[in-house]
Amino acid sequence: MTHRAAGTTVRQLAPEERLRRLELLVTRRLDGMLQGQYLGLLPGPGSEFAGSREYRPGEDEVRWMDWAVTARTNVPHVREVDADRELTTWVLVDGSASMDFGTAEVEKRELAVAAVAAVGFLTAGAGNRLGAHVLRQDGVRRVPARTGRVHLQAVLRDLLDAEREPAGAEPVGLGTAIEGLQRTAIHRGLAVVVSDFLDEGEWEGPLKRLGARHQVLAVEVTDPRELELPDVGLITLVDPETGRRREVSTGNRKLRERYAAAAREQRRAVADALRRSGADHLPLRTDRDWVADIVRHVLSQRRRAAAAPARRPPAGGGR
């Protein structure tokens, strides 16, 4: 059963109003909080090695020095990279039934759309493209990677207007959807998987294989009522994936404690699987300031990138 906070929610607005509200929220707040030079989802220049060139004092960073070529030629050289010049970002959005749940201002599905909007804004740039795979219970809808603000708006409108799952359809697992994304995303880039990761199928292996070629960001979407039960008497709980129902007396303190402990263990298992897969983990909650959480993640990534030693290319330097 989905509870609603008082007031108008995003879903109660007309589609165009929802899109405008979302776009203004993302662009204004992220732009204001990240302030210019920090505007970007990736922590600095790309990592695809593309040869070396002579060092330009005052323009190049010392951490990108190509020491092998410098030693061989006695002339300072820096490494060049390709990935940041034209970035292709692929987003896989979980649209399964469990994403319809929500007890705060937004549903998990709405928060997933907001996360895609933030990714689109933070990876925008000349030549950069964004494509989308939307996991539905009856299959995966694929949107080709294209450039531009109009394309991003079309992707967001498609996600906002998406119908609920058809009853009785054969479900498609998250792992299968990730494998499909891996087959589509041929060129190295950024892959963003937005999900609650409640799929009982095997998704850790496919996510790890996706990370062998791409930088992977896993956006985990949760709702507070998935983590603990309030004391509201007798309620009926419905599994959105299977439709199974069970009456539960939330006045039972031991039951609430067992529920909270099981939920903590479940989210810990998800976090461990994401860490083993090598994906960057960005948790978002429907009852939190998700824009601030994204900003903290971006700045944390940039601090890590700045502190990490520059990775040396293979001996010999150039191609």
pLDDT digits (tens, 9 = 90+) for 48-78: 455 678 888 866 777 778 888 888 788 888 8
Tell me which DSSP letter residue 309 carries.
P
Confidence (pLDDT) at 222 = 95
Within 13 A of 176's CA, how many CA atoms are on the CB side? 13
Cα–Cα distance between 276 and 204 in angstroms, integer? 8
Cα–Cα distance between 303 and 292 in angstroms, integer? 16
Cα–Cα distance between 258 and 228 in angstroms, integer? 9
Confidence (pLDDT) at 45 = 44
Per DSSP, the residues of 47-84 read --EEEEEE--TTTS-GGGB-HHHHHHHSS-EEEEESTT
Confidence (pLDDT) at 169 = 57
Phi then psi dihedrals of residue 275, to 5 deg: -65, -45
Confidence (pLDDT) at 37 = 44
Domains of the chain: 86-288 (3.40.50.410)
Confidence (pLDDT) at 162 = 61
Confidence (pLDDT) at 274 = 96
Q: In which element (H, E) is residue 169 found?
A: none
Beta pairing, strands 88-94 & 129-136: parallel
| pTM: predicted TM-score of the whole model, two decimal places | 0.77
Which residues in the chain land under pLDDT 50? 1-8, 37-39, 44-48, 82-84, 310-319
> pLDDT above 90 covers what percent of the chain?
35
Q: What digits encode the pLDDT tens for the residues 148-202?
A: 988 998 898 888 766 555 555 567 899 999 999 999 998 889 999 999 998 877 9
Confidence (pLDDT) at 159 = 83
